[in-house]
């Protein structure tokens, strides 16, 4: 094979690979020929690796801090005296209710039930509790729905808890309103549930809501 034929084949090969265009084999210098050979023998650059899709960052915060107030600390500006008895009788049931609400919401969404650790408790003068972030959704609906309902029905709740709400119609109205409020909480998580499905979740949710609305404490 003569040089001209070899050069022609070399250029043809480079043109096929897209490495050179518009070059005639009869108008090539030695330096150009050397560059062509280098181009042909140069290894292909490795293509960038395809990156796997990164998982979406969870919207659940690592921790969530709540402030629990009582009527005395809220209205009279008195510092809270946290005793072992208050912790066992009032604080623990309230925090357990938050956990239970969160687990009902998780169950509605098909998520696993979780334990929610208490990370810190302090007073200044209200009760400050820092919880694992898993409780954030329950706290959101409690502050936005339960507390609003509680404030709107504050007088009836106080009379009911002290045994002074004796009117049967008022009791029935309060209970029906409470169930509607709990139903609203479920609708925020999953709209369009059947009556049977919703009844099942309401039966789990109502006991925790009772603790929240009749507790001495309220999330500020």
Give the number of C-alpha atoms closer than 13 A to the C-alpha of residue 144, restricted to the C-beta side.
9
Question: What does the pLDDT look like over 34-73, one tens digit per residue?
Answer: 665 565 555 555 444 444 344 344 578 899 999 998 876 7
Q: Which of 216, 214, 212, 210 is nearest to 86 (CA)?
A: 216
Q: Is 10 helix (H, G, I), strand (E, B) or coil?
A: helix
Structure confidence by residue, pLDDT tens digits, 71-125:
767 766 777 888 999 999 999 999 999 999 999 999 999 999 988 999 999 987 7
What are the residue boundaries of the structural domains of the chain, listed by start? 63-219
CA 177 – CA 183 distance, rounded (Å): 10
Q: What is the pTM of this model?
A: 0.71
């Amino acid at each position: 094979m003569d040089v001209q034929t070899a050069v022609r084949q070399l250029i043809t090969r480079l043109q096929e690979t897209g490495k050179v265009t518009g070059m005639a084999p009869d108008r090539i210098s030695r330096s150009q020929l050397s560059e062509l050979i280098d181009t042909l023998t140069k290894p292909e650059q490795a293509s960038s690796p395809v990156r796997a899709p990164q998982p979406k960052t969870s919207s659940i915060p690592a921790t969530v801090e709540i402030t629990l107030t009582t009527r005395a600390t809220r209205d009279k500006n008195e510092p809270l005296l946290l005793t072992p008895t208050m912790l066992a009788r009032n604080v623990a049931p309230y925090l357990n209710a938050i956990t239970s609400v969160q687990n009902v919401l998780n169950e509605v969404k098909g998520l696993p039930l979780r334990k929610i650790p208490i990370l810190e408790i302090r007073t200044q003068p209200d009760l400050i509790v820092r919880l694992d972030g898993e409780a954030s959704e329950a706290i959101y609906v409690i502050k936005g729905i339960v507390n609003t309902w509680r404030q709107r029905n504050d007088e009836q709740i106080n009379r009911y808890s002290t045994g002074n709400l004796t009117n049967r119609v008022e009791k029935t109205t309060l209970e029906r309103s409470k169930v509607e409020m709990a139903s609203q909480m479920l609708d925020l998580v999953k709209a369009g549930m059947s009556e049977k499905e919703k009844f099942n979740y309401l039966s789990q949710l109502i006991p925790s809501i009772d603790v929240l609305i009749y507790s001495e404490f309220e999330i500020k």
